[in-house]
Structure 1
Amino acid sequence: MKPLWALSIGLVLSACSKSEPPPAPVRPVLSIKVQALNEEDLGRFAGSIQARYESNTGFRVGGRIASRNVDVGTEVEKGTLLATLDPSDQQNQLRSAQGDLAKIQAQLINAKATAQRQQALFDRGVGAQAQLDEANTDLKTTQASLDQARAAVNQSKDQLGYTELRADHKAVVTAWSAEAGQVVSAGQQVVTLAQPDIKEAVIDLPDTLVDQLPSDVVFLVATQLDPNTNTTAIIREIEPQAQSATRTRRARLTLAETPEGFRLGTAISVTLSSAIKPRIELPITALQEVDGKPRIWVIDAQSKTVSPRDITVISRTDSTVVLAGGVKNGERVVSAGVNSLKPGQPVKIDEDSQ
């Protein structure tokens, strides 16, 4: 009887072992929390902070630059002397004009005296009318020559004053196009002055992107050294034609605010984004295809187990996939190792997963 009893116990234990398989092993996985996207990132571009108003200034006369009085980056007030020309030619012209003026002034004194004598003789009846008329004509001609000589002196003084290049408004020197000793012509660009009161962001955008920019595009402008120093901006103007070498078009953006860190010449990073219908974007490694149907593995927050879920794919790239739905905002999805999972399998979530 004892062997039969032991055999019965063995058969019962064997049956129990077949009905209760060992639990599935806990598998560590990488996961990501689903976050619906409300904005579409259109790209990030480098640029700089520049003044809206800049002026390229030069001398009003030609000559050799004698001195350059300020450096790039210097803030100047209205009337500040920026540079000077060698004034030798203008000084000689002024001396010549002043000599001509002195000569005409002497001639005028003589013409007045002659006219007075002829008038006195004519009044006594011993002078001829023709001589009086000639004297008066010489007086008027000399007076006109005097006015012309005075104008020449004033013009020579102006020409001498033009050998000094001064700032016509408060500004910041942003560039020099000529150095001391260089000969420049009248009107040639010598220095660039920027008005620091109104600043804007300047970037170069691909020509193909400019034509596709939506009307509600948002520009986030931040300094490259400190991304926390940022503001938003809108398009003020875009060049109508692309540069032939780079196929880019320069865009100037009006800043909503001007943080203290936005100094002239500051390197900035400009991010373009546009409001879109909420959508879900996951890494391509989270996608699994079974019989041609895409699905993902969703982690149950309570039981720490996974279950497959069919989804609809809108678009995909080499690194990401965009879903039309099938998963809720805030759910956690396995982001790597999906091909080795089974329904209901317990998993260990990496706390550092993003």
Structure 2
Amino acid sequence: MISDTIGNVMWPGRVLPVCMLVLSMLVASQARAEPPLVADVIRIQRVADSETLSLTGEIIARDVVGVSFPMGGRILSVSVREGDRVTKGQELARLESVQQEQALLGVEAALDAANADLRQAMDEFKRQDIFLERGATTRTRRDDAERFFRISEANVERATAELKRVQKAYDDTILRATAEGVVIDRFADSGEVLAAARPVLALALGGALDAVFDVPEVMPTKIPADLVVQLSLVDRPDVKFTGYVRKISPLVDPKSGTVEVSIGVDQPPASVGYGDAVRVMVARPVPPRITIPYSALTAYGDASAVWVVDPETHAVALSPITISRYHDGLIVVAAGLENGELVVTTSVQLLYPGRILQLKEAK
């Protein structure tokens, strides 16, 4: 009967609107015919909030130095391991030094010979000087003795300088600690061939510790300089201590989009050591925002949406929303909802436009 009426009365351009009107009337009639559906709703309210970020980092030494040989060669021995405490001047590693030892012996022998020549030349120069005063020699012989003495002095100086050079080359085959510290890493073992200046060990100098964290890029700009943070060990949460923001890296990691923040540790417990995993909790305020639970979310075509309830008729309608982000079981809504609106949070899969609900309002 309806289609006949449309065919006899309405012209083609208005067939679709009439059909839509009839369809909505049928849906509304169906909604009135069904008993109200019991569903939970929440009343939308934009409120100020705060975020608590839990970050996991690592305890490291504040002052770390890499030690290496100034020359290349094959490692003869490495006498320390990770965790060893060393003193200033202690031998850490040694290179094979056969050539340096031979060169050192040769230069020492040359210096001994030069010193012997110097003593002989000095005695002859003194004797010729005395003889010249007595008239028992000629000035020419006295001058020759002085010249030989000066040459011998120069030979000794040259041999001494060569000895220092060769001695340094030999000393460079022995790696020693430049200060008291703890070995925190070892990069080479006996038998390896190293290039000059390649690190062999890493030493932590002093007892100062830092906790290093990779922090989201937007957060460091909001960290006050005098912020005191509470730290705890990941595997031993009962071990708690405090720290302060000591350094914020000016560079952003291009892969993770994070910034490295170093927290100086104040008086760490004795059980805290290098490499321990540490956690920090940081709270920060955020602008007022609207949040809804995940259970309220549905789809409207390719967009996200929620079911909004008419407070007078208790009929539902779809409302598209823009999502800012997801957070701890909640959805932060950027646009699409206003204060005071009622949003359905349960049984959303059973809803259709115009369906009547029996409301159970919750916070």
Does structure 2 conserve the Cα–Cα contact (< 8 Å) formed by 1:47 and 1:269? Answer: yes
Helix, strand or coil: the match of 2:222?
coil
Does structure 1 conserve the Cα–Cα contact (< 8 Å) formed by 2:220 and 2:259? Answer: no
Q: Residues 80 and 148 of structure 1: is their aligned pair in 2 closer, same or farther, counting only changes over 3 Å?
A: same
Distance in 2 (CA, whole Å) between partners of 1:241 and 1:262 is 28
Q: Are residues 1:209 and 2:238 paired?
A: no
Distance in 1 (CA, whole Å) between partners of 2:177 and 2:339 is 63
Q: TM-score, normalised by structure 1?
A: 0.66
Helix, strand or coil: the match of 1:142?
helix
**Bigger mean CA deviation after superposition, 233-242 or 92-101:** 233-242
Partner residue in 2 for 1:115: 125
Partner residue in 1 for 2:310: 291
Distance in 2 (CA, whole Å) between partners of 1:118 and 1:274 is 93
Distance in 2 (CA, whole Å) between partners of 1:164 and 1:268 is 37
Does structure 2 conserve the Cα–Cα contact (< 8 Å) formed by 1:284 and 1:316? Answer: no
Partner residue in 2 for 1:240: 250
Q: Which of 22, 31, 51 is equivalent to 1:40?
A: 51
Partner residue in 2 for 1:135: 145
How far off its partner does 1:204 sit?
2.0
Q: Are residues 1:262 and 2:262 paired?
A: no
Helix, strand or coil: the match of 1:178?
coil
Q: Residues 150 and 190 of structure 1: is their aligned pair in 2 closer, same or farther, counting only changes over 3 Å?
A: same
Q: TM-score, normalised by structure 2?
A: 0.64
Q: Residues 153 and 321 of structure 1: is their aligned pair in 2 closer, same or farther, counting only changes over 3 Å?
A: closer
Distance in 2 (CA, whole Å) between partners of 1:94 and 1:235 is 52
Q: Residues 260 and 118 of structure 1: is their aligned pair in 2 closer, same or farther, counting only changes over 3 Å?
A: closer
Map Cα deviations across residues 17-42 of structure 1 (whole Å, 9 max, x no partner). Answer: xxxxxxxxxx9x9x9xxxx987422x
Q: Which of 254, 274, 284 is equivalent to 2:284?
A: 274
Does structure 2 conserve the Cα–Cα contact (< 8 Å) formed by 1:199 and 1:255? Answer: yes
What does residue range 108-257 of structure 1 map to in structure 2 within 5 Å? 108-195=118-205, 197-206=207-216, 208-210=217-219, 212-215=221-224, 219-257=229-267
Q: Residues 37 and 167 of structure 1: is their aligned pair in 2 closer, same or farther, counting only changes over 3 Å?
A: farther
**Bigger mean CA deviation after superposition, 61-70 or 154-163:** 154-163
How far off its partner does 1:96 sit?
1.2
Partner residue in 1 for 2:66: 56
Distance in 2 (CA, whole Å) between partners of 1:130 and 1:148 is 27
Distance in 2 (CA, whole Å) between partners of 1:132 and 1:316 is 102
Q: Residues 317 and 223 of structure 1: is their aligned pair in 2 closer, same or farther, counting only changes over 3 Å?
A: same
Distance in 2 (CA, whole Å) between partners of 1:212 and 1:123 is 89
How far off its partner does 1:338 sit?
9.2
**Bigger mean CA deviation after superposition, 256-265 or 96-105:** 256-265
Distance in 1 (CA, whole Å) between partners of 2:89 and 2:142 is 53
How far off its partner does 1:173 sit?
1.2
How far off its partner does 1:258 sit?
1.5
How far off its partner does 1:189 sit?
1.6
Q: Residues 155 and 291 of structure 1: is their aligned pair in 2 closer, same or farther, counting only changes over 3 Å?
A: same
Distance in 2 (CA, whole Å) between partners of 1:141 and 1:235 is 66
Q: Residues 37 and 201 of structure 1: is their aligned pair in 2 closer, same or farther, counting only changes over 3 Å?
A: farther
Distance in 1 (CA, whole Å) between partners of 2:230 and 2:268 is 13
Distance in 2 (CA, whole Å) between partners of 1:159 and 1:96 is 14
Does structure 1 conserve the Cα–Cα contact (< 8 Å) formed by 2:228 and 2:245? Answer: no
Q: Residues 122 and 316 of structure 1: is their aligned pair in 2 closer, same or farther, counting only changes over 3 Å?
A: closer
Paired AA for residue 310 in structure 2: D
Distance in 1 (CA, whole Å) between partners of 2:307 and 2:268 is 48
Helix, strand or coil: the match of 1:109?
helix
Distance in 2 (CA, whole Å) between partners of 1:226 and 1:136 is 81
Helix, strand or coil: the match of 1:258?
coil
Q: Which of 89, 92, 115 is equivalent to 1:79?
A: 89
Distance in 1 (CA, whole Å) between partners of 2:137 and 2:198 is 61
Does structure 2 conserve the Cα–Cα contact (< 8 Å) formed by 1:218 and 1:272? Answer: no
Distance in 2 (CA, whole Å) between partners of 1:231 and 1:204 is 19
Distance in 1 (CA, whole Å) between partners of 2:266 and 2:358 is 50
Distance in 2 (CA, whole Å) between partners of 1:280 and 1:261 is 44
Distance in 1 (CA, whole Å) between partners of 2:307 and 2:251 is 46
Distance in 1 (CA, whole Å) between partners of 2:132 and 2:221 is 93
Helix, strand or coil: the match of 1:209?
coil
Map Cα deviations across residues 302-345 of structure 1 (whole Å, 9 max, x no partner). Answer: xxxxxxxxxxxxx975542689999xxxxxxxx975997657x9
Helix, strand or coil: the match of 2:278?
strand
How far off its partner does 1:148 sit?
3.1
Paired AA for residue 214 in structure 2: D
Map Cα deviations across residues 59-105 of structure 1 (whole Å, 9 max, x no partner). Answer: 24433210011222223333332211112122112111111112212
Distance in 2 (CA, whole Å) between partners of 1:249 and 1:275 is 20
Does structure 2 conserve the Cα–Cα contact (< 8 Å) formed by 1:59 and 1:162? Answer: yes
Taking every aligned residue pair, what percent have the same amino acid on both sides? 25
Paired AA for residue 215 in structure 2: L
Distance in 2 (CA, whole Å) between partners of 1:171 and 1:150 is 35
